[in-house]
A and B are shown apart, each in its own frame.
Chain A
Amino acid sequence: MLNTLVRRFAQMAFVMFGISVLVFLIFFATPGVDPAARLAGRNASPEVLAAVRASFGLDQPLPIQYLMMMKKMFITQDLTSFVNRGQMIVPELVQAAPVTISLVVGSALLWVGLSIPIGMLAAAFKDRFLDRVLMGLVIVGISPPVFWLGEITNLITQSRYHDTWLFSWVPPLGYIPFSEDPWGWFKCLVLPCANVAVLYIGIYARLLRSNIIEANQQDFIRTARAKGLSEWQILFRHSLRTSLITFATLFGLDFGFLVGGGVLLTEVVFGLPGIGKLTYESLRVLDLPTIMGTVLWGAFFVVASNAIIDSLYAFIDPRARHAS
């Protein structure tokens, strides 16, 4: 037990290390590109360029540069943005986190809450009218780009129909912290969460449907019928339960990805100052230190969620518990 935990942790550490090296290489060592100019941002003056070179040790061999960057990032925590007048990056990240987390948790509740019934109904009524309608809606829902969908939502709710009773409650684009106004916080998140959820409801409903259909072909479903269970009992207790294993695994991975900044586009479109928006802002001005920070944060969450899912897998799938 302890052995596997240690092994898993070591693996996670290795991957994080690998990612940090990769990030470093991308920003510092891409052939044909000058790192100092990247770091200092566009149109940097020669003094700034020289300062950057010194601070990051760009004249030193690559491994030293890597260590210096890591030190600035984690130990001294004084990684500052050259473009944003000395703004410290780590605190900025910490401040943006609750926004992203609120958005992702809200979306997750919506998408899990809706995709399970939709997937189940579609599987239960396979190839009949309800199934076709649901799957048709779903496949349309996953087609538009998420940022475009957000723009259209804004068009409708902020501009065209804003004055109608339907959407007059929609606050202007932006974030209202929970501590400031809980109801406002809720209102400002409803549409962005729905925006993210549309895509994921589609993906997960389709996934669940196909898993349930596959589970229904298994022998144990036949046994359940032979025991005298009704079709709905079989669906809920046997097909669904077995299908939820994959569902939960993928959910964990996607959740980790989104919290790490995968909701970037939605945050931008709805003006929510989360990690994703921070990444975007730093992109626009080519503020490399901030980009580095946000990318590492994102990668960390993906790796962490992978590790958590791996550990929990034995919990959700009894077959994995006693791997000999």
Chain B
Amino acid sequence: MPPDVSMATVPPLLEVTDLRVAFHTERGILQAVDGVSFRVEAEEIVGVVGESGSGKSVCLMAVLGLISGPYTHIEGSVRLMGRELVGLPNRELRKIRGRDMAVIFQDPMTAMTPVYTVGQQIVEQIRVHQPLSRKAAKARAIDLLDAVGIGAPAKAADRYPHELSGGMRQRAMIAMALSCNPRLLLADEPTTALDVTVQAQILDLILRLRSEFKSAVILITHDMGVIAEAADQVMVMYAGRVVERGSKNQLFANPLHPYTWGLLASIPPLDGERVHRLPSIGGLPPSLLDLPAGCAFSPRCRDVSARCQGERPVLDRHGDHARACFLPLESVAAQRRAGLAASLQPAEAFSE
């Protein structure tokens, strides 16, 4: 499969080409990530959206090199600032992790070690990569906690994770991730475990990361609202494959893939006609052990054709907006409206 390279001349910060991650299980080979390609430019926020099982977290882990083991098989290319990460020995990867790339995990309560204070954990990360004294590192940790918006940062540094509120914990995790000024931040559903009001604050913080800390962010989420708020570029994943990719504006104005339509349609509208029943995408998420031969979404697609079931769609590029679908471009808009209207009526169940 030819790599999906754009015309830009400056090498991107992160370039993932045809990444595949397979797990060998007793029940067969589970292809968690199946030919994913994307790029992240400096100071860009790339949103990765999809439901559970779409492969978004596995993708993130594979970029970090945190997936390993005798039953795991990783292929493809992941280039960070031009340097190939796939196949790099752990010794080298360790230097990159935490320093050039850092992670913010979904649940800060379990993601931080319960027996050390927040300050101690930040200091630990700093001292792994930088030759600072403990005092200097602690001072820097307090500065970071302040920068992410934690009031009374000196006190907070001496608190244990369970002593902080959910929002403060996540801010502390972000502070920890930022401690070595990474060029790239990977955020795995950073707001999912938080209250709605706190979500907004954390999203603001993530936006600030781009402007103040000059970090690019890969933002994984299942929430289109988060994408609308924070992302520059968006990638939609389904069953381990990329189904649509483009800028946020392109995606929201003119979504090209039936799955994306479904995702957008299921956002409760705050204005306009009141909807009595929220549209949803019929059917169930696919089992990765048992995917159809053609398009993975075909069992749930209203506009499925025979070609979809037999042949797997390739990511087509139309300018910067790409999609993997056989629907003719001209009829996309019409089909989408029809589909939306249909799903607003009392539904007869889809074929599954």
Contact = CB atoms under 8 A, between A and B. Distances in A.
Tier of interface size on chain B: 20 to 34
Nearest to B97: A228
Contacts of B115: 241-242, 245, 317-319
Nearest to A220: B113
Given A220-B111, A241-B115, A322 B163 contact: yes
A230 B127 CA distance: 13
A233 B116 CA distance: 14
A227 B124 contact: yes
A138 B79 CA distance: 47
A237 interface: yes
Most chain B CB atoms below 10 A, which of A224, A228, A238, A322: A228
B94 interface: yes
Contacts of B163: 322
Nearest to A229: B128
A218 interface: yes
Contacts of B66: 222, 225-226
Nearest to A244: B115
B77 to A, nearest CB: 21
A208 to B, nearest CB: 16
A321 B107 CA distance: 22
B160 A319 contact: yes
A223 interface: yes
Nearest to A238: B113
A317 B113 CA distance: 12
Contacts of B96: 228
Contacts of B111: 219-220, 222-223
B176 interface: yes
Given A242-B113, A318-B115, A223 B105 contact: yes
Nearest to B112: A220
A319 B162 contact: yes
A245 to B, nearest CB: 8
B124 A237 contact: yes
Interface in A307-324: 317-319, 321-322
A256 B162 CA distance: 31
Given A225-B66, A227-B97, A319-B162, A220 B102 contact: no
Contact of B95 (A222, A226, A228, A321): A228
B234 interface: no
A318 B160 contact: yes
B351 interface: no
Contact of B98 (A226, A241, A242): A226
A223 B97 contact: no
A223 B128 CA distance: 14
Contacts of A220: 110-114
A241 B113 CA distance: 10
A237 to B, nearest CB: 7
B50 to A, nearest CB: 21
A226 B64 contact: yes
A110 B163 CA distance: 37
Contacts of B124: 227, 229, 237
A319 B128 contact: no
Interface string B105-140: 101001111111000000011001100000000000
Given A227-B97, A228-B97, A229-B98, 9 more contacts: A224-B113, A227-B128, A228-B96, A228-B98, A237-B124, A241-B115, A318-B115, A319-B114, A319-B160
18 contacts: A218-B110, A219-B107, A220-B110, A220-B113, A220-B114, A222-B66, A224-B113, A226-B103, A226-B105, A227-B102, A228-B94, A229-B94, A242-B114, A245-B115, A317-B115, A319-B114, A319-B115, A321-B160
Closest 8 CB pairs of A and B: A228-B98, A219-B110, A227-B98, A228-B97, A226-B103, A220-B113, A227-B125, A318-B160
